């Protein structure tokens, strides 16, 4: 057997690509179940209204209609649960009004589903839904995040002031003391614009009940099918968990929006038994805009206290976060645990206090969207640092350097302990890659053409792989945060890996196979990764928060190590050696200091054909499970540099260069990691320049289609310069991996806005709110000139 170069660290082409590039993938909407019927949901046209009466007679009598259901039919089934409990500063639990599957008594946002029509065809279901007559008593809506808590109108009776919770972290008294002695204070108020995730595959579901086994199968666009099954079975529908199989087949992007348990798939599972047929629903994009969980939407005031040398003394933050009309699955954790705890960033700020007020409004629910709280924290911090540098006349890079954390582990004043990092390394390399030295000449060249050029920096930190479960539980998590894996070694030595992580673009079928192939010393093509089916995979918490490799990959490594441990016992028997004398490397078990060897495949065969086998002390077979619960978060970090050219006549911004230098710890597949950064950058630049969700004062969604909501297109974006430094590996997981899925979306918005402000500062501009559209920039410039 020849020594095989490790797969880890190589840009192996993706194993999953063939089916996607040939159109032979299987997405939920591609699945046709025999005799399937189709669903259409009637959605509220009003942001806020009492439902006086619903008349479904005409719809029920329409051609092809099999059933029409409203909340009355669903009596007895539970509301959609929230997976995170936050307590207010006064100790009271958050207000947790019921999130009904179909609206009960009131509709609370445009798009709130209030009836389900099942028909022979999608067209008939939609036509019949239009025949349902609803008598609404239209109420004034609560729309605006900042003023929701002072509105006279209540979205929920349980929260008369629309406040879900008022939470805080950090030592407020120490912060106040630091401010009173500060040489300089920088203040910054801003809105972190609300975004719509818009995975290109719309949400879809197909639910089937089998009387033969008294069980259900749900195909659904999910990032975490086991969580969907658990919540649906245990909290909503009362179906025994083992009688519900949830399959998330190929899923066309998620970005957070497919983590949650939504009303539509829940209603389909329930109705499939009543109708006695499979029922399929695929969202039209207009429905996605109205009903997918949105992201961000904070209104924030921040103050940074500095001493005379530019050292940060304290940070004080007050933010209001919009929860929307109902609490989505993980909503309360986003502005608190995933936002306020990140406010130290890369800096040794000794005192930080953050207050978070979460409010209900008559808008779609808001939950995690790529980055989830961390982009909001990073935007705040990297903008206020830039503003402080400008006010103090300091180089923004120098101000950051003065405040970098340099010794690890480092306990922040907001609850986290960073295990490792080297912020100088990513900063230094980013400055080189971005050719910052050449910037002045490029700026002069732009100015000669009547254009304004600016450069902006962001030094971000992120916390990935939220954990450990016991600490998360004390912070309000109602679920575990481990990951599970099974390695099934077949008699021929081929391996199937079952992972609780779910891939919807991240490339797990390749990355995880690289890890297993190296660990077991076998060929990449001998490893197959299975995911996304509760009927196959033992358990799983799914994919979100850049956790797949750090947590899911670690569970796989743990299972692989158990395989090797058992293999060593089998090999010792076959080789008539002591177990302690058998070494495993490069896919072979060897007796140390001899030429006696058994290959991995020979050991696998012996496990399944146990003729020469220690049956009295060892079970046959070679199959191991593992659960991995991380000891801590992982802390990827990096520096992003953006260079823009702004046309002051039109307000149009062009990104001339974008450089990202990241420390993700150890990297398994650099090509896939760079691809993740590219995608994150596009979404972050989208937030900075293009994207913004707008409701009007009546609560109507004005940005309800791709015609109205500006998604980044190929010609809106530059080529990216992306590099991963030789990083500081994570110290507490076996792969040394930190996670890379969200970094791009976290670090890029402040880098872009800092660059624009740098370009326009000579014209008197101090701040630009996101998104920096040409219209907004033009207005900002006009205001600055007055």
Partner 1 sequence: MSQPIPLSVNGKAVTVEADPDTLLVTFLREHLRLTGTHVGCDTASCGACTVLIGGRAAKSCNVLLGQVSGEAITTIEGITPADGSLHPMQAAFKACHGLQCGFCTPGMIMSAIDLLTHHAHATREEVRAGLEGNLCRCTGYHNIVSAVMRAAQAMQAAGGGS
- Enumerate binding residues for partner 1 (CB under 8 A): 11, 13-14, 16-27, 29-30, 32, 198-202, 250-253, 255, 282, 284-286, 504-507, 671-672, 674-675, 678-683, 705-707, 711-715, 717, 719-720, 744
Tell me how far, at minimum, the Cβ of 676 lies from partner 1, in Å.
Answer: 8
SS percent in the chain: helix, strand, coil, step 5: 30, 25, 45
Tell me how far, at minimum, the Cβ of 719 lies from partner 1, in Å.
Answer: 6
Give the closest residue to 534 by CA, choosing from 525, 542, 544: 542
Which residues, 6 or more positions from 732, have their beta carbon under 8 angstroms from its beta carbon? Answer: 419, 630, 631, 632
Tell me how far, at minimum, the Cβ of 33 lies from partner 1, in Å.
Answer: 14
Sheet containing 588-591: order of strands: 582-585, 588-591, 597-599
Beta strands 351-360 and 312-324 are: parallel
Q: Which is nearer to partner 1, 18 or 183 (CB)?
A: 18
The total of other beta-carbon atoms located within 10 Å of residue 139's CB is 18
Q: Report how far residue 624's alpha carbon sits from residue 647's, in angstroms, rounded to the nearest whole number.
A: 61
Tell me how far, at minimum, the Cβ of 662 lies from partner 1, in Å.
Answer: 14
Query: In this structure, are residues 101 and 270 in contact, taking their beta carbons and an 8 Å threshold?
Result: yes
Tell me how far, at minimum, the Cβ of 314 lies from partner 1, in Å.
Answer: 37
Q: Which is nearer to partner 1, 671 or 761 (CB)?
A: 671
Given CA atoms 384, 386, 390, 392 in this order, what sign does their dihedral have?
positive
Tell me how far, at minimum, the Cβ of 286 lies from partner 1, in Å.
Answer: 6
Q: Which is nearer to partner 1, 16 or 367 (CB)?
A: 16
Tell me how far, at minimum, the Cβ of 721 lies from partner 1, in Å.
Answer: 10
Tell me how far, at minimum, the Cβ of 200 lies from partner 1, in Å.
Answer: 4
Q: Which is nearer to partner 1, 35 or 52 (CB)?
A: 35
Q: Residue 766 in 3-state DSSP?
A: coil
Given CA atoms 698, 699, 704, 707 in this order, what sign does their dihedral have?
positive
Q: Which is nearer to partner 1, 25 or 172 (CB)?
A: 25
Cα separations (Å) of 686 from 69, 253, 706, 754?
Answer: 39, 16, 13, 15
Q: Which is nearer to partner 1, 346 or 543 (CB)?
A: 543
Given CA atoms 342, 345, 350, 355 in this order, what sign does their dihedral have?
negative
Given CA atoms 540, 292, 376, 746 in this order, what sign does their dihedral have?
positive
Sheet containing 312-324: order of strands: 163-170, 351-360, 312-324, 298-306, 184-192
Query: In this structure, are residues 463 and 416 in contact, taking their beta carbons and an 8 Å threshold?
Result: yes
For residue 542 the two structure tokens come to 């799914």
Tell me how far, at minimum, the Cβ of 16 lies from partner 1, in Å.
Answer: 8
Tell me how far, at minimum, the Cβ of 704 lies from partner 1, in Å.
Answer: 10
Q: Which is nearer to partner 1, 651 or 744 (CB)?
A: 744
Which residues, 6 or more positions from 497, have their beta carbon under 8 angstroms from its beta carbon? Answer: 485, 486, 487, 488, 512, 513, 516, 527, 528, 529, 530, 556, 559
Q: Which is nearer to partner 1, 398 or 708 (CB)?
A: 708
């Amino acid at each position: 057997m020849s020594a095989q170069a490790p797969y880890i660290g190589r840009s192996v082409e993706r194993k999953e690509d063939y089916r996607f590039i040939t159109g032979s993938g299987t997405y939920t909407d591609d699945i046709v179940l025999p005799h399937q019927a189709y669903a259409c949901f009637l959605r509220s046209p009003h942001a806020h209204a009492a439902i006086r009466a619903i008349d479904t007679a005409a719809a029920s009598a329409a051609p092809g209609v099999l059933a029409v259901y409203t909340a009355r039919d669903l009596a007895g089934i539970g509301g959609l649960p929230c997976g995170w409990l936050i307590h207010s500063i006064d100790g009271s639990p958050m207000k947790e009004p019921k999130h009904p599957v179909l609206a009960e008594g009131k509709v609370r946002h445009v798009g709130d589903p209030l009836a389900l029509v099942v028909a022979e065809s999608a067209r008939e279901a939609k036509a019949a839904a239009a025949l349902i007559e609803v008598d609404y008593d239209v109420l004034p809506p609560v729309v605006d995040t900042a003023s929701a808590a002072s509105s006279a109108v209540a979205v929920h009776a349980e929260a008369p002031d629309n406040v879900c919770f008022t939470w805080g972290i950090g030592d407020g008294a120490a912060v106040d003391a630091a401010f009173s002695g500060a040489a300089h204070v920088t203040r910054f108020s801003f809105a972190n614009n609300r975004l719509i995730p818009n995975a290109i595959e719309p949400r879809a579901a197909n639910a089937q009940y089998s009387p033969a086994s008294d069980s259900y199968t749900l195909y659904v666009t999910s990032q975490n099918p086991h969580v969907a099954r658990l919540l649906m079975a245990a909290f909503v529908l009362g179906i025994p968990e083992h009688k519900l199989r949830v399959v998330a087949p190929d899923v066309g992007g998620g970005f957070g929006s497919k983590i949650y348990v939504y009303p539509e798939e829940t209603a389909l599972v329930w109705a499939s038994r009543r109708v006695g047929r499979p029922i399929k629903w695929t969202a039209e994009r207009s429905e996605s805009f109205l009903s997918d969980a949105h992201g961000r939407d904070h209104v924030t005031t921040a103050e940074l206290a500095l001493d005379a040398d530019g050292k940060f003394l304290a940070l004080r933050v007050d933010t209001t976060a919009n929860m929307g009309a109902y609490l989505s699955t993980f909503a309360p954790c986003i502005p608190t645990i995933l936002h306020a705890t990140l406010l130290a960033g890369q800096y040794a700020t000794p005192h930080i206090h953050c207050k978070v007020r979460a409010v209900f409004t008559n808008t779609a629910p808001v939950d995690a969207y790529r980055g989830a709280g961390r982009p909001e924290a990073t935007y705040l911090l990297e903008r206020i640092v830039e503003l402080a540098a400008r006010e103090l006349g300091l180089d923004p890079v120098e101000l950051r350097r003065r405040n970098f954390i340099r010794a690890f582990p480092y306990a922040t004043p907001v609850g986290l302990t960073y295990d490792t990092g080297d912020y100088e390394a990513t900063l230094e390399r980013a400055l080189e890659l971005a050719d910052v030295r050449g910037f002045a000449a490029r700026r002069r060249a732009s100015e000669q053409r009547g254009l304004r050029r600016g450069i902006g920096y962001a030094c971000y930190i992120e916390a990935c792989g939220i954990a450990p479960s016991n600490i998360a539980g004390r912070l309000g998590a109602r679920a575990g945060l481990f990951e599970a894996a099974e390695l099934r070694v077949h008699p021929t030595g081929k391996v199937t890996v079952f992972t609780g992580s779910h891939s919807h673009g991240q490339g797990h079928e390749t990355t995880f196979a690289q890890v297993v192939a190296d660990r077991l010393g076998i060929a990449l093509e001998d490893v197959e990764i299975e995911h996304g089916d509760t009927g196959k995979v033992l358990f799983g918490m799914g994919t979100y928060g850049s956790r797949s490799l750090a947590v899911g990959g670690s569970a796989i490594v743990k299972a692989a190590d158990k395989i090797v441990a058992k293999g060593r016992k089998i090999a010792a028997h076959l080789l008539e050696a002591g177990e302690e004398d058998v070494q495993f490397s490069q896919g072979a078990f060897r007796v140390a200091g001899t030429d006696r060897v058994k290959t991995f495949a020979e050991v696998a065969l012996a496990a399944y054909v146990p003729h020469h086998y220690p049956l009295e002390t060892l079970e046959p077979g070679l199959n191991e499970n593992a659960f991995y619960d991380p000891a801590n978060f992982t802390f990827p970090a990096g520096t992003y540099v953006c260079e823009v050219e702004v046309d002051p006549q039109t307000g149009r911004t062009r990104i001339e260069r974008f450089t990202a230098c990241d420390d993700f710890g150890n990297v398994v597949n650099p090509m896939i990691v760079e691809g993740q950064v590219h995608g994150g950058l596009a979404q972050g630049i989208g937030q900075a320049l293009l994207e913004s969700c707008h409701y009007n004062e009546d609560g109507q969604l004005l940005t309800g289609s791709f015609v109205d909501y500006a998604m980044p297109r190929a010609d809106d974006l530059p080529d990216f310069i992306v590099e991963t430094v030789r990083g500081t590996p994570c110290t507490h997981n076996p792969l040394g991996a930190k996670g890379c899925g969200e970094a791009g979306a976290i670090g890029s918005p402040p880098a872009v806005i800092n660059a624009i402000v740098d370009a326009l500062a000579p014209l008197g501009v101090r701040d630009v709110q996101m998104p920096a559209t040409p219209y907004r920039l033009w207005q900002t410039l006009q205001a600055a000139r007055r």
